Amino acid sequence: MQIDPLPDVKTKGSVTNIRGNDFERMLAKIGLGFAIGKFGIDAFEKFYVLPAILGSRDDIGRWVGTAEAEKPNDIETIYVVDIQNSNDEIICRIRLFSMFVVPEYIVVVGKLKCK
């Protein structure tokens, strides 16, 4: 049974114009911001997503994707960001509007400096 998390909110259709890879770049910015917030900017050797965020490279599809498995709704929060360290490469898993059944996006942010 699907629970409506916002039963008192009236919905209205809308149109949004998204150009090119703006959505993927937004996800990369979210992942980058959370990663810097957790580790600090000086902890990174390289940010993989930064050139695509700045528009100097067109390789955002290499660093941003969608997870295959569906996650259950999280009624408690509007978003979920999980940061993982895999061999000093930082990966952010992002779910926007997590109170609904939504995709989980994966952002490979960058590489930490060797300790």
Domain layout of the chain by residue ranges: 22-112
List, for residues 78-106, the tens digit of each pLDDT value.
888 999 999 999 999 999 988 888 889 99
Cβ pair 88, 110 in contact under 8 A: no
Query: CB under 8 Å to 9, separation ≥6 — which residues?
Result: none
Cβ pair 48, 108 in contact under 8 A: yes
pTM comes to 0.79
List, for residues 13-68, the tens digit of each pLDDT value.
677 776 778 999 999 999 999 999 999 999 999 999 999 999 999 999 999 999 87
Neighbours of 109 (CB within 10 A): 27
Backbone angles phi, psi at 49, to 5 degrees: -85, -15
